[in-house]
Amino acid sequence: MSDTARRERFEQTVLPHLDAAYNLARWLTRNDQDAQDVTQEACLRAFRFFDRYQGGSARAWLLTIVRNTCYTWLHKNRHPDSTEFDEEIHSSEVSSGTDPEVQALTAADKETVNHALEDLPDVFREALVLREMEGMSYREIADVTSVSLGTVMSRLARARTRLRQSLTVELSRGF
């Protein structure tokens, strides 16, 4: 296969999943710039090893590479001063025609959920992001994370329980 054909096949197969790659990297690194760096590194690795891609879910294949790249990067560069999730950058914009009070309450709700997600252990947060934000099946999550289907189901159940408990505590403080 020529270099041009290989590049075009890569672009058609992998690039449609860049948003999912960045989203996973963002939730794992907890930092916008780090997520961009990790996503870029993962795409370079994916391109380098694209000849080994055997078909199947390109998204799951790419997210596996992103996940591995992310954990390698975190191991080497763990920053205690990582910036927090930036609501204005990472969430969809609230309509400018919406009542300011509704906008404020919506932003506060999103911030509460984001903080609760960030407080989850990495394996639980990862499972929730892949399932709820990326819409991956349990089998795809198992493939991406290299764990059994039962472990995926267990992690999701525990993640949801912890998230529910965290949000319940947070909401009870508001009353």
The model's pLDDT over 35-58, given as tens digits with 9 standing for 90+, comes to 999 999 999 999 999 988 988 899
Residue 168 is encoded by which pair of tokens? 């319940």
Pair 10, 65 in one domain: yes
Phi (first) and psi of residue 135, to 5 degrees: 65, 30
pTM tops 0.75: no
CA R_g for the chain: 18
pLDDT in tens, 104-130: 556 666 787 888 888 899 999 999 999
Rounded CA separation 52/50 (Å) = 5
Exposure pattern of 102-140 as b/e (b: 16+ CB <10 Å)?
A: eeeeeeeebebebebbeebeeebbbbbbbbeebebeeeb
> Is there a single domain that holds both residue 61 and residue 129?
no
Domain count, the chain: 2
In a domain, 145, yes or no: yes
Average pLDDT, the chain: 84
Return the pLDDT at 123.
Answer: 93
CATH number for the domain that contains residue 120:
1.10.10.10
Asked if residue 105 is part of any domain, the answer here is yes
Of 136, 118, 114, 116, which Cα lies nearest the Cα of 127?
136
pLDDT at 5 over 60: yes
Contacts of 119 by beta carbon, 8 Å cutoff, 6+ apart:
166
**Residue 5 belongs to a domain with what CATH number?**
1.10.1740.10
Segments forming the whole domain that contains residue 41: 1-78
